[in-house]
């Protein structure tokens, strides 16, 4: 992270170089123009327009109710404020899980209507077809493994994931797959520090942790 707001635009290639150079990546969430402007001027590298706007801005219990139109609204406000940071937008629940064609249409709408720079999807092998289709269209994709809030009713809790051997191995396999198909980065949320460290040290792409310890390439608050 740098405090120089005049620094050139952060791109996926810049993040890759930061990992290669051992430079930590900073990432924060914003949902509106005012906070995005403050975060960008502080020199944060990546701004996520999270589907957590469903909880934080609209007061819903989970991230599930937020719509694609609402995500585009929040993303557009953030993009208008940002001069430097890479802006990544969550694809909301229901816009990519069932159909890879629908996933691509959703990602295209976000990119065209908000001006964002990338999208983020939750899931590993089950989301592979959708992720591949989006990447093949030229849209950068950030993966998301570990605790995936859109699956909260499946998990039943927001506690740490991948603590057992089987789930940890699945996460490792999913992370390797996401790198192989072309994701530019992966978010690891609420997993053991030792597992996050293993993933970060074995993959070339930047790993961003959320409650995953300090041995990753960057952290999101």
Q: 107-162 pLDDT, tens per residue? A: 999 999 999 999 999 999 999 999 999 999 999 999 999 999 888 767 776 788 88
DSSP reduced 3-state for 99: coil
Indicate whether 2 pLDDT > 50: no
What average pLDDT does this structure show over 199-221? 94
Active-site choice (23, 61, 166, 189): 189
Q: What is the pLDDT of residue 127?
A: 95
Q: What is the pLDDT of residue 4?
A: 42
**Contact (CB, 8 A) for 152 and 122:** no
How does pLDDT run across 172-202, given as a tens digit for each residue? 999 999 999 999 999 999 999 999 999 999 9
Dihedral, CA of residue 95, residue 122, residue 124 and residue 21, to nearest 10:
130
Measured CA to CA, the distance from residue 15 to residue 88 in angstroms comes to 13
- CATH class for the region spanning 12-220: alpha beta
How does pLDDT run across 47-77, given as a tens digit for each residue? 999 999 999 999 999 999 999 999 999 999 9
The answer to whether the pTM exceeds 0.75 is yes
Handedness of CA 170, 197, 156, 93 (dihedral sign): negative
Measured CA to CA, the distance from residue 107 to residue 110 in angstroms comes to 5
How does pLDDT run across 27-47, given as a tens digit for each residue? 999 999 999 999 999 999 999
Q: What is the pLDDT of residue 150?
A: 84
**Contact (CB, 8 A) for 139 and 180:** no
Measured CA to CA, the distance from residue 162 to residue 146 in angstroms comes to 7
**Contact (CB, 8 A) for 47 and 27:** yes
The question of whether 189 is a catalytic residue gets the answer yes
Q: Which residues of 63-80 are buried (b: 16+ CB within 10 A; e: fewer)?
A: bbbbebebbbbbbbbbbe
Domain range annotation of the chain:
12-220
């Amino acid at each position: 992270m740098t405090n120089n707001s005049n620094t050139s635009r952060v791109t996926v290639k810049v993040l890759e170089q930061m990992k290669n150079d051992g430079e930590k990546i900073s990432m924060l969430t914003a949902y509106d123009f005012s906070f995005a402007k403050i975060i960008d001027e502080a020199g944060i590298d990546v701004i996520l327009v999270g589907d957590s706007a469903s909880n934080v801005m609209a007061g819903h219990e989970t991230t599930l109710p937020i719509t694609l139109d609402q995500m585009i609204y929040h993303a557009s406000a953030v993009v208008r404020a940002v001069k430097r940071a890479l802006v990544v937008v969550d694809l909301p629940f229901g816009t990519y899980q069932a159909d890879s064609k629908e996933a691509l249409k959703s990602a295209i709408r976000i990119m065209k209507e908000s001006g964002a720079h990338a999208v983020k999807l939750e899931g590993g092998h089950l989301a592979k077809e959708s992720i591949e289709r989006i990447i093949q269209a030229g849209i950068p994709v950030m993966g998301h493994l570990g605790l995936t809030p859109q699956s909260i009713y499946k998990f039943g809790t927001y506690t740490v994931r991948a603590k057992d051997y089987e789930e940890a191995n699945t996460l490792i396999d999913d992370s390797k797959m996401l790198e192989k198909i072309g994701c530019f980065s992966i978010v690891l949320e609420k997993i053991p520090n030792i597992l996050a460290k293993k993933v970060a040290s074995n993959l070339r792409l930047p790993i961003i942790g959320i409650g995953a310890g300090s041995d990753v390439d960057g952290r999101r608050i």
